[in-house]
Amino acid sequence: MREGEILYLSRADVEAVALDMPAMIELLETAFREKGEGRVEMPPKPGIHTQPDAFIHAMPAYIPALHAAGIKWVSGYPGNQVKGLPYITGLLILNDEETGLPYSVMDCTWITAYRTGAATALSAKYLARLQSETAGILACGVQGRTNLEALAAVFPLRRAYVFDVDKGRQQRYAVEMGAKLGIEIIEVDEPRKAVVASDLVVTSGPILKHPAPAIEADWLQPGAFGSAVDFDSYWQPGAMARIDRITTDDHDQFRYYRSVGYFGQTPDPYADLGELVAGTKPGRQSADERTLAINLGLALDDMAVAPEVYRRAVERGIGTWLPL
């Protein structure tokens, strides 16, 4: 940290730091343990909405154990994809916990993508069968990639079944992720084939308040784990009703989203991720339970990861120092 200066990290800078997925999952586990034990300050994220199904959110958090304090200002606009623009964009600011002075501003796109995958993998560590070998990915965008990468860091994956309505994107995903992870990627022509064949299922399409969900009640098999990255956009009410254990990452956030029109027919989560990690609520209890994580995306995730990105950037001379 330099007095009177901040370190600016562009998206290219953040990507150049290349924080590895196992380290990210470990940081999130520490942060959620602190949350579960009541040692995190994180108010519900306020937002504005300038377009249908779009959002701009302010996401502050303080994690004393990681000396992490700051805020993310992030937007998600589903219509950007047809304009050749990213769905998620934004900036993240880190503040010194003793003085409050900002010491870094960084692009949040990479962090948002990868910490979301890390949160899925952390949930699966407590909710999935430890020897899970197959994954199903519905929607082959950025989150489909990072979630599979994160699951491969925790489980002995051999094969992934992938589906996307955009067949060109599906094909690119199969080639690129197969090469990156060294596992077999099988393209399927309908969502059901990916779900019924998989131990771990991730749905990662756009978040929609009025979706047309595809996953039916009998698709997720006994013993399987699901991660609804796109809220309930892919999951029919009957499919939700068949789940034995549903978790979220924060009860207050879940209740807020329900109050504004999401999760109208989704059963209440029995635990949040902090409670699982801290051991105050149990994870998977039997081999044949169906489990589902509905992680909404928390400022906690970002504040767990961003200080380590900053630290490694300083060590490697990455980024641009600017006067305050």
Q: How many domains does the chain have?
A: 2
Asked if residue 216 is part of any domain, the answer here is yes
Same structural domain, 286 and 173: yes
Q: For residue 132, what are its two tokens?
A: 């899970």
Quick one: pLDDT at residue 82? 86
Residue 314 inside a domain? The answer is yes
Could you tell me if 94 and 165 lie in one domain?
Answer: no
292 lies in the same domain as 143: yes
For the domain that residue 12 is a member of, what is the CATH number? Answer: 3.30.1780.10
Residue 254 is assigned to a structural domain of this protein: yes
pLDDT given at position 272: 97
Residue 87 pLDDT: 87
Non-local CB neighbours of 197 within 8 Å, separated by 6+ positions: 134, 136, 161
Pairwise CA distance, residues 107 & 111, whole Å: 8
3-state secondary structure of 200: strand
One domain for residues 52 and 189: no
Write out residues in the chain with pLDDT < 70, as ranges. Answer: none
**235 and 307 assigned to the same domain:** no
Q: Identify whether 167 is part of a domain.
A: yes
d(C-alpha 172, C-alpha 157), whole Å: 20
Check residue 1 and give its pLDDT: 79
Structural domain that includes position 206:
124-297
Q: What is the pLDDT of residue 284?
A: 97
Segment 95-137, tens digit of pLDDT = 999 999 999 999 999 999 999 999 999 999 999 999 999 999 9
Other C-beta atoms closer than 10 Å to the C-beta of 113 total 20
Q: What is the pLDDT of residue 210?
A: 85
DSSP 20-79: -HHHHHHHHHHHHHHHHTT--B-PPPPEE-SSTT-EEEEEEEEEGGGTEEEEEEEEE-GG
Report the CATH number that the domain containing residue 289 is assigned in CATH. 3.40.50.720
pLDDT of the residue at 221: 98
Q: What is the pLDDT of residue 291?
A: 98
Q: 272 vs 91, 247, 295, CA distance in Å?
A: 27, 5, 9
**Which pLDDT belongs to residue 144?**
97
> What is 94-115 written as a DSSP string?
EE-TTT--EEEEEE-HHHHHHH
pLDDT given for residue 253 in this prediction:
92
Q: What is the rounded distance in angstroms from the CA atom of residue 124 to the CA atom of residue 292? A: 9
d(CA 187, CA 210): 27
Spatial distance between the Cα atoms of 221 and 289, rounded to a whole number of angstroms:
9
